[in-house]
Amino acid sequence: MEGDVIGPGPYRATKLWNETIKLFRGGMPLRRHWMHFRYYDLSFTGSEAVDYLHELLMHNDNFGPEVTRYQTLQLLRKFLKAHVIEDIKGRHGTEDFEDNGHLYRFPMLSPLKSFPTRPLLRDGSDLPRLIRWDDYEELPQPENIAPLKSAAMTSDLWNKRHSVAIGDVHECKLIRRKEITAKQVDHIWKSMTVTHLQRVLGLASLDGVLNPTHVNGKHIVHNVFSVNKTGVVILEHKAEDMPHWVVSAMKCLANWPNGNESKQAVYPGFERDVLRTVGDYFQKLKEPLLTFQLYEVFVNILSLLQEQEVATEALQVSCLLLPPPNRRRLQLLLRLMARVCQNPHLPALNDSISTRTLMVQMFSHCVLGSVDEMELDELLATKLVTFMMEHHNTILQVPSKLRRQVDEHLSHLKRVQIKYAGSDADFSASPVVCKQIYRVECEEQKVIGTQIPLNELLEGLIADKELPAKDKRKRLKQFQRSYPEVYHKRFPTEESKAAVKPEKTQRLKPSLMFFSFKKPLQPFQRSWSFRA
């Protein structure tokens, strides 16, 4: 009885909780048991419940084979506290579930969780609005400038960019940017990051998944740009960083056996004590590294793990939403976990389980967790942390696609733009700097506008008195070959050319006396010394 796969969507953690309860209640074998000199019908022992639920979870696509028997036991203890099950005498809440022959049963009504009653936001109104050209000011009326007659405004690039193809050219206005402030940059990063996350998750809305008011654009910008050469976040205030002794302990394990910076005496079990020191610090944090507010986001990403590229991109974007101290701790912790698991020189850190399993069990709850203790924290955290540990180098990078999109948007805002009448801006209230013309006039102005700078170039070449005569003649010939029409218009006759074109200097012909010798000229003979 595998059940349905719960895809990404609002309140996925609650849906998984209810789905697990339904599968457990619907499939758990119930029979008559003998205890305390009497029979109890429709009951099951604690060991039978652990066996069945463990098998169920391992074969369920929402959880997977990584689920351990201990995690199943922990989940059944939560079931007992939430009154999903009760002991044979009807007790629950304060009792502790045991993996033995103690008898349990299902209550008459199963307390499935209800979804929050907060109204859903529609039409993308839960997303922050991007800064657009409407937020910028218009250029004032220019003086002594003929509209649409500069080379830049009439070039092919201008026509392509503004799609002046057929029909009339409508009235337009020029808009320029105001100085983009750091607050506006933060807002743009926030808006585009949240939108990108929604697109990667494939959701029509993030309602029930992420509240945009919990997203801080300043944190995103810090996580993107304030990093060292290895990509780890650099904090503005050292007081927000981990204590020095924790960092030293992490370096000691990560670089074992060469990481003992403090040169402490190494004794049998030293590395286990160092790991316990690191574990105690992370387990005593007030909230998980992925924060309570982002819990639903990362639970939704769990449904995408079968598509590695999509899940990786979703994690890249989501981890940018973390406060910088959390992102830094997460980066250092995942690197530590990966190095410890791959270090062949490190002795066994536990006698009963592998190092990889130990690292996941010790730190998974420090990474992902919910405020509600009745959630499936251990199961979900194990699956997510295992994936993040195996792909930490890629996950903790800034998504290149998102960064390129933000850069292009900021670059767009910095350019002067032409806005036409009938656009979403209020055109009637702004000064008109372009008059309406027809297509024939536009083509004429295109030719005229192109010739104006060429005429200016030619006149400047003619008037340049510092340019040597030889170079001036050479450049005039080049101009004539490149722009014959402009050149002919300036010099319609030979007289007009002669008036401004520098004359060639006449070379003196060599004297005939040098060629009157009967004998050929002998090569120059050196007959004296240049030395003093």
Please report the pLDDT score of residue 464 as a whole number.
79
Geometric angle at alpha carbon 360, from 359 and 365, rounded to 5°: 115
Mean pLDDT by 10 residues, the chain (532 residues): 76 91 93 85 93 94 87 92 89 86 88 68 51 49 41 47 48 65 93 95 91 94 94 93 94 83 72 94 94 94 91 96 97 95 90 91 93 81 93 92 92 71 49 48 52 76 81 83 83 77 58 46 50 48
C-alpha distances in Å from residue 365, one per residue of 27, 75, 259, 289, 379: 29, 14, 26, 9, 10
Geometric angle at alpha carbon 182, from 179 and 183, rounded to 5°: 105
Query: Are 391 and 309 spatial neighbours (Cβ–Cβ below 8 Å)?
Result: no
Length of the chain: 532
C-alpha distances in Å from residue 314, one per residue of 19, 283, 399: 24, 26, 9
Q: Integer distance in angstroms from the first to the last C-alpha of the chain? A: 112
Please report the pLDDT score of residue 442 as a whole number.
52
Which amino acid would we find at residue 12?
Answer: R
Helix or strand or coil: residue 87? Answer: strand
User: How big is the chain by its Cα radius of gyration, in Å?
Assistant: 39
> CA-CA distance, 387 to 365, in Å (whole number)?
14
Assign 3-class secondary structure to 178-193.
CCCCHHHHHHHHHHHH
Query: Count of CB atoms within 10 A of residue 23's CB?
Result: 19
> CA-CA distance, 168 to 165, in Å (whole number)?
9
Number of H helices, E strands in the chain: 19, 6
> CA-CA distance, 201 to 212, in Å (whole number)?
15
pTM exceeds cut of 0.85: no
* Residues with Cβ within 8 Å of residue 236, at least 6 apart in sequence: 222, 226, 324
Angle between helices 324-342 and 355-367 (to 10 degrees): 170
Helix or strand or coil: residue 32? Answer: strand
Beta-bridge mates of residue 86? 105
Phi first, then psi: what are they for 429, rounded to 5°?
A: -90, 0
Quote the tokens at residue 216. Answer: 């801080």
Strand 31-35 with 38-45, pairing = antiparallel
Please report the pLDDT score of residue 139 as a whole number.
42
Please report the pLDDT score of residue 431 as a whole number.
44
Strand 86-87 with 103-105, pairing = antiparallel
Q: How many CA atoms lie within 13 A of 294 on its CB side?
A: 24
